[in-house]
Amino acid sequence: MSTEKLTGIADCDIHPTVRTMAELEPWLSRQWIEHFRTYGALRNTQYVSGAPYHKSQPNASRRDAYPPEGGPQGSSLAFLRTQLLDQHSIGFGILNPLVQAQGVRNLAHSAALCRALNHWQAETWVANEPRLRASIVVPYEDPEASAEEIRHWAGNAAFVQVLLLSRTSFPTGNKRYWPIFGAAVEAGLPVGIHAFGNSGWPVSNVGWPSFYLEEMVGHAQTSQSGLVSLVVEGVFERWPALKVVLIESGFTWAPSLMWRLDHAFRTLRSEVPHLKLLPSEYVRRNVWWTSQPLDEPENKRYLADMFNWLGWDKIMFSSDYPHWDFDDPARVIAFPASDEDRRKFFIGNARHVYGA
Amino acid sequence: MQIDCDIHPFVPNTAALFPYMPEHWREMSVVRGIDDLHSASYPDNTPLTARADWRPASGRPATTAETIARECLDPFGSSIAICNPLYGVQTLFSEDLAYAYVRALNDWTRAQFLDPEPRLRASIVVSLDNIEMAVAEIERCAPDQRSVQILLLVGTAHPLGRRQYWPIYEAAVKHSLPVALHAGTDFRNAPTALGWPSYYLEDYFANAQAFQYQLTSFFAEGVFNKFPTLKLVLLESGWTWVPPLVWRITKYWAGLRMEVPWTDRSPAEIVRDQVRFSLQPVDGPTDPDQIRRLIDHLGSDQLLLFSTDYPHAQFEGMEMFPAGFDESLRAIIRRDAPLATYTRLAGAAA
């Protein structure tokens, strides 16, 4: 089995961050600057800054990823170039900033922060590094404002997808969010749905767990609920051309989800006559996945079954740089795979989905 | 020999439980018009709640021992079947009212099903808002050896691994009773972690997420380490999601073990040692080669327990094994794995 050395790898999940929120001020009005300094950005969670479950390390990021010039991990383009793009032969990287902007309760504030964050991505990252592309962050709890944000940037080559977080306050396919999907299709952009966010509900449907470990494992289940909602509400029936990318949610659960959903659908289809295809047919047509974090079965070859069953054309490499559970492209496929499949996974699928 | 580990007697209405209730609660129910507690987890008329050929012309299915014998035990040839009543007694908010109904339900099951039909066994139903009352109910029912496990709904107020629930597991181990989680919820949380979906199909599907969260919680909190002889049985859970979940927990256990230092075995070992799953519904592919690969992923031939899920509609006709299960594995699922799980059935097997 050859292991061809690939260059120009596509990394579909990179997390740039601000040194401080003041970095966004060039694109915020005086009023929002003062507002943020006084009240912060209200979210559906308990701490002024940080997450409900404390991460395993500061900023959930690699301890070796602090830039030499200071600031948090992921805040320096120069260091990201060296430590990620050059070292791992990344030729195409997608930025998914998880900076406080989406999911802010004051919807006008959320919209202002998202607009600023999009300027910041385009003007301080993509404009200075041709290997990088940005995601349009939208204030998704205000779908009309989100659609407006998508239309504002549509056609701008710096942006290759619309970014939502997985923990929406209503199931992700709920009709209230449909303006977002419509605007994304009109702009020719995939909708990436990245794990995390603060829905206002407990992080599981059986209440708040005790541990960060459970929150991290649970991103898979939350994304399952979001995906089921997208399918069952008929989002893919309404927009057959919509591409959805599930980011950092795992994918080995997808075959089981499709079998189970088809099984339940066959019994309960009279409830959802708006679905013209089997649920699994929508999933196979409209959904892609990023790879990190890759599961760890006792026998690594079991992963090959999952790649084969879901399809090598549906899974795209992602590193999650600079987060602690980073996957190294040289080590991520630890089982036999053909050069053709590896090229799809590391390069080809992202070119197809993002038009790179 | 064949043991059916998941069948559902249906309570026709609250009046059926009145004979098993003190006068005070009977009167309270009549005065307040508490006519029915049928859970929204299984609305009466959905095609899932009762298979068409098991649905009577009027009223609910599976309301008598005779019906269960005729429609389920005889045709499938089961020597033993475990009754898991799903009447919505767990959803009551008043602890006293809830336990009036919980006790009545357990006594109704014994009198109406176990007494007339020697092939039937029952799970002990408890409500979780008051753990002392739950333990007292287990103690009350456990002396009857026909009580073979403790039944919880998978949808709960808090993840079930949390220590507030450990007295239940202590009682379970003391009486050699497995703890079962069955599909359904007490509605203390929204059906999904993203709130209330639009369709019943999504409600039903959300059980799969609840099972995954609960299994993760049992692992992380160290329930299996504290109670190494406890058996956890997941009913109507599906099982093809199990290997990917175990692999994902393993991934984060490797990175976050500092949070859960008491975990002394890997997630895969713990599932093999202490967790079992009912066969139906088979949330799997039709390709027998894929089924064989999935069984290989499970890592043990002891994990699946035969079930029909009668009268729920999970399969057509009489065949509940998809292609890919060979004869020796079917025999383990029908007999050996249930007997190893339910030690109280040992006498019945002799």
Q: Chain B contacts of A218, Cβ < 8 Å?
A: 193, 212-213, 216
Q: How far is B20 from chain A (nearest CA, A)?
A: 31
Residue B348: is its pLDDT beyond 90?
no
Pairing mode, strands A9-14 and A90-95: parallel
Mutate to test the interface with A, among B48, B196, B204, B213 (most CBs of A within 10 A): B213
Structure tokens given for A247: 């980011």
Chain A neighbors of B47, CB-CB under 8 A: 267-268, 270
B9-28 residue pLDDT tens: 999 999 999 999 999 999 99
Scanning every residue of chain A, which has its alpha carbon at the shortest distance from the alpha carbon of B239? A256
Task: Note whether B282 contacts A: Cβ–Cβ < 8 A.
Answer: yes
Report pLDDT for B256. Answer: 97
Q: Which helix (H) or strand (E) holds A258?
A: helix A254-268
In the prediction, which pLDDT does B178 show? Answer: 98
Rounded average pLDDT over B48-55: 97
> Which domains, and CATH codes, for chain A?
9-354 (3.20.20.140)
Query: Does the beta carbon of A205 lie under 8 angstroms from any beta carbon of chain B?
Result: yes
Answer whether A56's CB lies under 8 Å from B256's CB.
yes
Q: How far is CA B62 from the centre of its chain?
A: 17
Q: How far is B337 from chain A (nearest CA, A)?
A: 23
What percent of chain B clears pLDDT 70, i.e. is strictly above it?
A: 99
A13, A119, A203, A292, B246 from A247: Cα distances, Å: 7, 22, 17, 8, 20
CB atoms within 10 A of CB A154: 16
ipTM: 0.97
Got the DSSP string for B289-304? HHHHHHHHHHT-SSSE
Q: Using a CB-CB distance cutoff of 8 angstroms, which residues of chain A are in contact with residue B291?
A: none
User: For chain B, what's the residue count?
Assistant: 350
Answer for the pair A224, A253: CB distance below 8 angstroms, yes or no: yes
Check if the beta carbon of residue A352 is closer than 8 Å to that of residue A112. Answer: no
Distance CA B273, CA A91 (A): 46
Q: Closest approach of chain B CAs to the CA of A177, in angstroms?
A: 13
| Tens-digit pLDDT profile for residues B222-249 | 999 999 999 999 999 999 999 999 999 9
Of A65, A66, A132, A60, the closest CA to residue A98 belongs to A60
CB contact under 8 Å between B214 and A206, yes or no, is: yes
Residue A77 tokens read as 């383009």
| Contact residues, B window 1-20, toward A, CB-based 8 Å cutoff | none
User: Token pair 């969670």 is at which residue?
Assistant: A45
- pLDDT in the model for residue A1: 45
Distance separating alpha carbons of residues B134 and B122, to the nearest angstrom: 16
Question: Which of B194, B240, B258 is nearest residue A225 as measured by Cβ atoms?
Answer: B194
Q: Would you kindly state where each structural domain of chain B is located, as residue ranges? A: 3-349
Chain-chain contact of A260 with B205 (C-beta, under 8 angstroms): yes
pLDDT at A13: 98
Chain A residues with CB under 8 Å of B156 CB are 206-207
> Which residue matches tokens 């006084």?
A38
Q: For the domain B3-349, what is the CATH superfamily, name and number?
A: Metal-dependent hydrolases (3.20.20.140)
Mean pLDDT of chain B: 97
The answer to whether residues A96 and A247 touch, using CB atoms and an 8 Å cutoff, is: yes
pLDDT given for residue A4 in this prediction: 74
The residue written with tokens 């997941």 in the block is B234
Mean pLDDT for B292-308 is 97
Model-wide pTM > 0.90: yes
A interface test, pick of B165, B201, B266, B293 with most A CB neighbours within 10 Å:
B201
Contact call for B158 and A298, based on CB within 8 A: no
**b/e A19-37 (16+ beta carbons within 10 angstroms → b):** eebebbbebbeeebbebbe
Q: How many CB atoms lie within 10 A of CB A197?
A: 24
Helices (H), B117-262: 131-141, 166-174, 200-221, 223-226, 242-256
pLDDT at site B350: 53
Residue in B198, B214, B251 nearest the CB of A233: B198
Q: Among A169, A260, A271, select the one facing B195 at the smallest CB separation.
A: A169
Q: pLDDT by residue for chain A (356 residues), tens digit each? A: 456 788 899 999 999 999 999 999 999 999 999 999 999 999 999 998 888 999 999 999 999 999 999 999 999 999 999 999 999 999 999 999 999 999 999 999 999 999 999 999 999 999 999 999 999 999 999 999 999 999 999 999 999 999 999 999 999 999 999 999 999 999 999 999 999 999 999 999 999 999 999 999 999 999 999 999 999 999 999 999 999 999 999 999 999 999 999 999 999 999 999 999 999 999 999 999 999 999 989 899 999 999 999 999 999 999 999 999 999 999 999 999 999 999 999 999 999 999 87
Estimate to the nearest angstrom the gap between the alpha carbon of B322 and the chain centroid. Answer: 22
**Digit-coded pLDDT (tens) for B153-202:** 999 999 999 999 999 999 999 999 999 999 999 999 999 999 999 999 99
